[in-house]
Structure 1
């Protein structure tokens, strides 16, 4: 087997990604929550406190990152996306409303996708990548991504290395994700709307992510970590992230990169596999619903 070129000689490539969801996941559960200050302040902490803190840490440690921003969030905070790009990081498409594409009626995903693109275009933000809300890509999502000129998606779990997904408009590079590398599963908790049940220790999360990184260094994988500024932006969790970055730097064989750069490396690698989206002929007598 030939050595993959997309890793650029590293044992693993790390993409630190931050989903700047702010209030959108809560509003997607019901606009009535806009009248609940505790809930809304829990979410606004992300862009208002978490993002500046994260940007300072990335500057300090000379790490590039990717921020997936819903169009609604960018629209409500007009300078937010620009402040991220000005620090050398990438802003990527994360829907407009943070409603899962698989929950939307026909035509609504396209309208939501286009509305977010219009926001970023108006703000002069170049967009090359996409992540579906809740990672819930539909069978149409990748086709939309390519139709609108974006080069990659980061929503699926079919590998732990980049691969390409065929669409009617051409291939899209997929940068796969996994629940084990998502801080939502570790830190998220709200009583209403009901989110999570146990808030884990940052020490445990750091240990788990180190173990995943070590495994990915062994198998030459993409360490694609998904974090939310309203979660990881909290002080103790920031120290755990700092420790994780320092550990990866000390390993000496981990490259940190923006998602758009990894997607380009994968596209240039002749050995990057190309796959169709999963398709099944389901027997309704076996699976009626």
Structure 2
């Protein structure tokens, strides 16, 4: 099967491009999904708890100052441990979307194992928000080839874990079903700029918020010129720190001021793309016989 690139899409109201600010509220689950023994490290757990306790309220306030609605990807365990924080996000008018249960890396899971993770996450989010999530982001952006089918079977509108396009598209789902894909990229993630956790993640080099904001603004301008969809991923335990939140707010203010850009939560972008009735496109798994 020949793969083809995603085609440019038309945006509402004659806008040139689209943009969305997204936040992964991983909290403690980012580490516990790797090794539950890390629960015994008090300082490490406090580092992660900063996100829901301090980072989320700060981010909600800065979004409110600019009347921007965002998408928050929440592991099910975060909803169980910090339900009031998740309710506050929803009550502020933001989208709550799925991000695993314990931020489990899905790679290598069987469909049956992965189904348990997805269903557990849906149940945890619905118990707090009252509704099932429409969107999915795989922890570490790692999908299995069977993941889209599992999502489509559960009625998800969209996924945002793949990196092969500048524009959203309808992803062909094995066995039928529909799933909008909204592409992301590593350059638009604050983890690479800010995250350092001893014996767990990071090189020890923590970048300046000025540098991070410069990278993100350049990526925004590039996608804006290409008519694409800018999706920034921030983590409240990282970008919720004061200097980083200040840099993020400058970017939010700038993007919101661009009259030719449609700024919206991801579920609204996905709903628009679904309405375009695009022909589904496939991503073809490499054939071992050709290696």
TM bucket normalised to smaller: over 0.9
- Bigger Cα displacement from structure 2, 216-225 vs 195-204: 195-204
- Bigger Cα displacement from structure 2, 95-104 vs 144-153: 95-104
TM-score under structure 1 normalisation?
0.93
- CA-to-aligned-CA distance 1:11-70 (integer Å, 9 cap, x gap): 221110000000112112211111111110111101111011100111111001000000
Q: Residue 133 of structure 1 aligns with which residue? A: 139
* Equivalent residues of 1:159, 1:176 under 8 A apart: yes
* Equivalent residues of 1:139, 1:277 under 8 A apart: no
The alpha-carbon deviation at position 181 of structure 1 amounts to 0.4
Q: Which among 231, 246, 250 is matched to residue 253 of structure 2? A: 246
* Equivalent residues of 1:29, 1:193 under 8 A apart: no
SS in 2 for 1:92: strand
Aligned equivalents of 1:67, 1:108: Cα separation in 2: 25
- CA-to-aligned-CA distance 1:60-116 (integer Å, 9 cap, x gap): 110010000000110112222221111010000111111111143552111010111
Query: How is 1:225-244 mapped onto 2 (pairs within 5 angstroms)?
Result: 225-244=232-251
Q: Would you say how many aligned residue pairs link Structure 1 and Structure 2?
A: 283
Stretches of structure 1 lacking an aligned partner (at least 5 in a row): none
Instruction: Give the RMSD, CA atoms, in angstroms.
Output: 1.7
Query: How is 1:94-243 mapped onto 2 (pairs within 5 angstroms)?
Result: 94-105=99-110, 107-123=112-128, 124-167=130-173, 168-243=175-250
Query: How is 1:64-83 mapped onto 2 (pairs within 5 angstroms)?
Result: 64-83=69-88
TM-score under structure 2 normalisation?
0.92
Stretches of structure 2 lacking an aligned partner (at least 5 in a row): 1-6
SS in 2 for 1:139: coil
* Equivalent residues of 2:8, 2:227 under 8 A apart: no
SS in 1 for 2:257: helix
Aligned equivalents of 1:40, 1:214: Cα separation in 2: 37
